[in-house]
């Protein structure tokens, strides 16, 4: 009788230890699975981050496309590119397409072309540009302005009227453009030598020496005004992925309303 009692006690102890071991194994497996999921999630996030490399609010990180488009561009617009050379294959392809779709702007209807103003852009800055057409005229609404830069320029952006909508390059639809310029995709206008040059950059020092007009200060537009602008049509590839399309320098400004 005594032996039977001992046997039952030993059996109970063995059963308890076996149950405890089973619980430990299950817990350990759950922890292992959870760690694996966490590691997988972290790895996936790391991969996504390394591919995207987007700064806050679309800020441009060199060597990337800056997070892609903020606004879907028209059909036929090239993908965003990290190419920055003014004679790169990407720059030449973009400028060729824009030259073919800008026929509505080809015959200046406003102020005369003033190519002599091009000489007030120094060679280091000029090397950033791919010129599409020497002189065009467009109309649209002013959505951003900055008067004046430290290089002496007066800058503003114009949302183009329908006949000229296709004159924007890929970069004008990008998140980088949207983070820098409010108001949506627009043509960037640079009116040279309208204020003293305070910049110490080699791109700007001495650029406006000898400039004696025109003085555009009386016609620099306000936000919301409808304007006609004449100028040299180009794309500046190093400015942002896909480049930024500009009239630079501006040759003439008319306030339409």
Map out the domains of the chain as residue ranges: 1-52, 89-255
- At 216, list the tokens: 């555009």
pTM passes above 0.85: no
pLDDT of residue 12: 55
Query: How far from 133 is each of 27, 165, 178, 212, 246, CA to CA, in Å?
Result: 72, 16, 25, 25, 11
Element housing 19 (H / E): helix 2-52
| Residue 236 phi, psi dihedral angles, 5° rounding | -110, 100
Per-residue pLDDT of the chain in tens (257 residues, 90 and over written 9): 444 555 555 555 545 555 554 444 444 444 444 444 444 444 433 333 333 344 444 455 667 788 899 999 999 999 999 999 999 999 999 999 999 999 999 766 667 899 999 999 999 999 999 999 999 999 999 999 999 999 999 999 999 999 999 999 999 999 999 999 999 999 999 999 999 999 999 999 999 999 999 999 999 999 999 999 999 999 999 999 999 999 999 999 999 99
State the distance between the two ends of the chain, measured CA to CA, in whole angstroms.
113
Architecture of the domain made up of 89-255: Beta Barrel (2.40)
pLDDT of residue 100: 95
Furthest-apart CA pair in the chain: how many Å? 122
Count CA atoms within 13 Å of residue 225 on its CB side: 15
């Amino acid at each position: 009788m005594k032996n039977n009692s001992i046997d039952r006690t030993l059996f109970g102890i063995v059963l308890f230890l076996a149950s405890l071991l089973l619980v430990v194994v299950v817990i350990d497996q759950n922890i292992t699975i959870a760690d694996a999921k966490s590691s997988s999630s972290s790895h996936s996030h790391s991969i996504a981050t390394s591919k995207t490399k987007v700064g806050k609010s679309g800020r441009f990180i060199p060597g990337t496309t800056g997070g892609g488009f903020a606004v879907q561009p028209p059909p036929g617009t090239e993908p965003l590119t990290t190419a920055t050379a003014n004679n790169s294959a990407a720059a030449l392809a973009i400028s060729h397409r824009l030259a073919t779709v800008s026929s509505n702007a080809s015959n200046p209807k406003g102020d005369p072309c003033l190519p002599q103003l091009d000489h007030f852009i120094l060679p280091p800055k000029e090397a950033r540009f791919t010129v599409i057409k020497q002189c065009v005229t467009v109309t649209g609404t002013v959505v951003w302005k900055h008067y004046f830069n430290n290089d002496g320029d007066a800058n503003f952006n114009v949302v183009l009227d329908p006949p000229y909508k296709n004159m924007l390059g890929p970069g004008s639809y990008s998140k980088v453009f949207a983070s820098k310029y409010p108001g949506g995709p627009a043509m960037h206008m640079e009116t040279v030598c309208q204020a003293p040059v305070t910049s110490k950059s080699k791109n700007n020092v001495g650029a406006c020496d000898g400039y004696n007009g025109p003085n555009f200060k009386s016609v620099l537009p306000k936000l919301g005004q409808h304007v006609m602008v004449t100028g040299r049509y180009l794309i500046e590839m190093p400015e942002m992925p896909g480049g930024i399309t500009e009239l630079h320098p501006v040759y003439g400004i008319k306030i339409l309303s």
